Amino acid sequence: MINLINLKAPKLRYLSARHRKNIILIRQITFLLIVTFIASLLFILSSKVANADMDKWTTPVVKAVTKAPVASQAPSKSKVEDPKPIKDPKTGVSITPRVESGNTILMKNLIRGISKEMGYKKPEWAIAIATCESGLNPKAVGDSGKSWGMWQIHQPSHPTVGKKAFDADWSTRWAIERLKAGRDSMWTCARILSK
Protein backbone atom coordinates (compact mmCIF):
# COMPACT_ATOMS: atom_id res chain seq x y z
CA MET A 1 0.00 0.00 0.00
CA ILE A 2 1.19 3.54 -0.67
CA ASN A 3 2.64 5.27 2.38
CA LEU A 4 1.03 8.71 2.26
CA ILE A 5 2.47 9.98 5.54
CA ASN A 6 5.87 11.35 6.27
CA LEU A 7 6.52 9.80 9.68
CA LYS A 8 9.12 12.47 10.45
CA ALA A 9 6.44 15.17 10.42
CA PRO A 10 6.50 16.97 13.80
CA LYS A 11 2.83 16.25 14.55
CA LEU A 12 3.16 12.47 14.13
CA ARG A 13 6.59 12.10 15.72
CA TYR A 14 5.24 12.31 19.24
CA LEU A 15 2.31 9.92 18.74
CA SER A 16 2.40 6.31 19.78
CA ALA A 17 2.96 3.64 17.14
CA ARG A 18 -0.67 2.55 17.38
CA HIS A 19 -1.95 6.08 16.73
CA ARG A 20 0.46 6.52 13.80
CA LYS A 21 -0.81 3.27 12.23
CA ASN A 22 -4.43 4.38 12.64
CA ILE A 23 -3.73 7.74 11.03
CA ILE A 24 -1.88 6.08 8.16
CA LEU A 25 -4.76 3.66 7.63
CA ILE A 26 -7.33 6.48 7.64
CA ARG A 27 -5.32 8.48 5.12
CA GLN A 28 -4.87 5.44 2.85
CA ILE A 29 -8.58 4.65 2.93
CA THR A 30 -9.39 8.29 2.20
CA PHE A 31 -6.97 8.26 -0.73
CA LEU A 32 -8.57 5.08 -2.16
CA LEU A 33 -12.07 6.53 -1.77
CA ILE A 34 -11.04 9.70 -3.61
CA VAL A 35 -9.45 7.70 -6.44
CA THR A 36 -12.56 5.47 -6.71
CA PHE A 37 -14.83 8.52 -6.74
CA ILE A 38 -12.80 10.19 -9.51
CA ALA A 39 -12.79 6.98 -11.57
CA SER A 40 -16.57 6.69 -11.16
CA LEU A 41 -17.07 10.28 -12.28
CA LEU A 42 -14.89 9.73 -15.34
CA PHE A 43 -16.84 6.59 -16.23
CA ILE A 44 -20.20 8.37 -15.85
CA LEU A 45 -19.03 11.33 -17.92
CA SER A 46 -17.61 9.12 -20.67
CA SER A 47 -20.83 7.09 -20.90
CA LYS A 48 -22.93 10.29 -21.04
CA VAL A 49 -20.72 11.60 -23.85
CA ALA A 50 -21.05 8.29 -25.70
CA ASN A 51 -24.85 8.36 -25.27
CA ALA A 52 -24.99 11.98 -26.42
CA ASP A 53 -23.01 11.07 -29.55
CA MET A 54 -25.38 8.16 -30.19
CA ASP A 55 -28.40 10.46 -29.82
CA LYS A 56 -27.03 12.72 -32.57
CA TRP A 57 -27.26 9.88 -35.07
CA THR A 58 -30.51 8.26 -33.99
CA THR A 59 -34.01 9.63 -33.78
CA PRO A 60 -36.63 7.89 -31.64
CA VAL A 61 -39.34 6.66 -33.96
CA VAL A 62 -42.34 4.55 -33.12
CA LYS A 63 -42.61 1.68 -35.55
CA ALA A 64 -45.77 -0.36 -35.66
CA VAL A 65 -44.84 -4.00 -35.52
CA THR A 66 -47.43 -5.04 -38.07
CA LYS A 67 -46.48 -2.43 -40.70
CA ALA A 68 -43.10 -1.90 -42.32
CA PRO A 69 -42.07 1.78 -42.49
CA VAL A 70 -42.15 3.44 -45.90
CA ALA A 71 -38.67 4.62 -46.91
CA SER A 72 -39.93 7.95 -48.25
CA GLN A 73 -41.53 8.92 -44.93
CA ALA A 74 -39.32 11.05 -42.71
CA PRO A 75 -39.90 10.91 -38.97
CA SER A 76 -42.14 13.75 -37.93
CA LYS A 77 -40.96 16.27 -35.36
CA SER A 78 -44.36 16.40 -33.74
CA LYS A 79 -45.24 14.56 -30.55
CA VAL A 80 -44.88 10.78 -30.90
CA GLU A 81 -48.09 8.95 -30.03
CA ASP A 82 -48.15 5.71 -28.13
CA PRO A 83 -48.73 2.71 -30.41
CA LYS A 84 -51.93 0.73 -30.04
CA PRO A 85 -51.70 -2.71 -28.42
CA ILE A 86 -52.07 -5.87 -30.52
CA LYS A 87 -54.08 -8.72 -28.99
CA ASP A 88 -53.28 -12.41 -29.48
CA PRO A 89 -56.60 -14.12 -30.34
CA LYS A 90 -55.55 -17.46 -28.79
CA THR A 91 -54.16 -16.30 -25.45
CA GLY A 92 -55.77 -12.87 -25.16
CA VAL A 93 -52.38 -11.33 -24.30
CA SER A 94 -51.99 -7.69 -25.35
CA ILE A 95 -48.63 -6.62 -26.76
CA THR A 96 -47.70 -2.98 -27.26
CA PRO A 97 -44.96 -2.10 -29.76
CA ARG A 98 -42.17 -0.09 -28.15
CA VAL A 99 -40.24 3.06 -29.02
CA GLU A 100 -36.88 2.54 -30.74
CA SER A 101 -33.70 3.80 -29.08
CA GLY A 102 -30.09 4.11 -30.24
CA ASN A 103 -29.16 0.63 -28.98
CA THR A 104 -31.75 -1.01 -31.24
CA ILE A 105 -29.55 -0.29 -34.25
CA LEU A 106 -26.74 -2.30 -32.63
CA MET A 107 -29.11 -5.16 -31.78
CA LYS A 108 -30.56 -5.21 -35.32
CA ASN A 109 -27.06 -5.39 -36.78
CA LEU A 110 -26.19 -8.18 -34.34
CA ILE A 111 -29.26 -10.19 -35.44
CA ARG A 112 -28.48 -9.58 -39.13
CA GLY A 113 -24.85 -10.63 -38.68
CA ILE A 114 -25.65 -13.80 -36.74
CA SER A 115 -28.44 -14.70 -39.19
CA LYS A 116 -26.00 -14.41 -42.10
CA GLU A 117 -23.32 -16.37 -40.21
CA MET A 118 -25.77 -19.18 -39.36
CA GLY A 119 -27.39 -19.25 -42.81
CA TYR A 120 -30.80 -17.99 -41.71
CA LYS A 121 -32.50 -16.31 -44.69
CA LYS A 122 -35.07 -14.15 -42.83
CA PRO A 123 -33.18 -11.76 -40.52
CA GLU A 124 -35.92 -9.11 -40.73
CA TRP A 125 -38.44 -11.65 -39.43
CA ALA A 126 -36.12 -12.38 -36.49
CA ILE A 127 -35.75 -8.64 -35.85
CA ALA A 128 -39.55 -8.22 -35.91
CA ILE A 129 -39.98 -10.98 -33.31
CA ALA A 130 -37.28 -9.61 -30.99
CA THR A 131 -38.62 -6.06 -31.39
CA CYS A 132 -42.11 -7.17 -30.47
CA GLU A 133 -40.96 -9.37 -27.58
CA SER A 134 -38.58 -6.95 -25.83
CA GLY A 135 -38.07 -3.80 -27.88
CA LEU A 136 -34.62 -5.31 -28.65
CA ASN A 137 -33.63 -4.87 -25.00
CA PRO A 138 -31.20 -7.64 -23.97
CA LYS A 139 -31.92 -6.95 -20.27
CA ALA A 140 -35.73 -7.17 -20.56
CA VAL A 141 -37.69 -9.23 -18.03
CA GLY A 142 -41.32 -10.15 -18.76
CA ASP A 143 -44.11 -12.57 -17.89
CA SER A 144 -43.88 -11.69 -14.18
CA GLY A 145 -40.15 -12.44 -14.17
CA LYS A 146 -40.38 -15.74 -16.07
CA SER A 147 -39.14 -14.57 -19.51
CA TRP A 148 -35.70 -13.03 -19.88
CA GLY A 149 -33.59 -11.18 -22.43
CA MET A 150 -34.07 -9.77 -25.88
CA TRP A 151 -35.84 -12.93 -27.04
CA GLN A 152 -37.91 -13.30 -23.84
CA ILE A 153 -36.78 -16.88 -23.28
CA HIS A 154 -39.31 -18.49 -20.94
CA GLN A 155 -37.26 -19.89 -18.05
CA PRO A 156 -39.74 -22.56 -16.85
CA SER A 157 -39.83 -23.98 -20.40
CA HIS A 158 -36.05 -23.67 -20.95
CA PRO A 159 -34.42 -24.00 -17.48
CA THR A 160 -30.97 -24.80 -18.90
CA VAL A 161 -30.71 -21.35 -20.51
CA GLY A 162 -30.59 -19.42 -17.23
CA LYS A 163 -28.81 -16.07 -17.18
CA LYS A 164 -27.35 -16.65 -20.64
CA ALA A 165 -30.70 -15.28 -21.85
CA PHE A 166 -29.38 -11.79 -20.98
CA ASP A 167 -26.36 -12.23 -23.30
CA ALA A 168 -27.50 -10.71 -26.60
CA ASP A 169 -25.05 -12.70 -28.74
CA TRP A 170 -25.69 -16.07 -27.09
CA SER A 171 -29.48 -15.67 -26.96
CA THR A 172 -29.64 -14.54 -30.59
CA ARG A 173 -27.75 -17.66 -31.67
CA TRP A 174 -30.14 -19.74 -29.52
CA ALA A 175 -33.17 -18.05 -31.12
CA ILE A 176 -31.86 -18.30 -34.71
CA GLU A 177 -31.32 -22.06 -34.24
CA ARG A 178 -34.98 -22.41 -33.32
CA LEU A 179 -36.16 -20.10 -36.11
CA LYS A 180 -34.14 -22.14 -38.64
CA ALA A 181 -35.84 -25.28 -37.31
CA GLY A 182 -39.26 -23.68 -37.95
CA ARG A 183 -40.13 -23.24 -34.27
CA ASP A 184 -41.34 -19.63 -34.67
CA SER A 185 -44.56 -20.37 -32.80
CA MET A 186 -42.73 -20.60 -29.47
CA TRP A 187 -42.87 -16.76 -29.42
CA THR A 188 -46.27 -15.13 -28.89
CA CYS A 189 -45.22 -12.22 -31.09
CA ALA A 190 -44.38 -14.58 -33.98
CA ARG A 191 -47.89 -16.06 -33.79
CA ILE A 192 -49.42 -12.57 -33.81
CA LEU A 193 -47.20 -11.17 -36.58
CA SER A 194 -47.68 -14.18 -38.86
CA LYS A 195 -51.43 -13.53 -39.15
DSSP notation for the chain = ------TTSHHHHTS-HHHHHHHHHHHHHHHHHHHHHHHHHHHHHHHHHHHHHHHHH----B--TTSPPPTTPPPPSSPPPPPPPEE-TTT--EE---B--HHHHHHHHHHHHHHHHHT-S-HHHHHHHHHHHHTT-TT-EETTTTEETTTTEETTT-TTTGGGGG-HHHHHHHHHHHHHTT-GGGSHHHHHHT-
- Considering the chain, what percentage of its residues have pLDDT values greater than 70? 64
pTM: 0.50
Please give the pLDDT value at position 19: 76
Confidence tier at 48 by pLDDT (50, 70, 90): low
Write out pLDDT tens, residues 142-167.
889 999 999 999 999 999 999 999 99
Report pLDDT for 84: 65
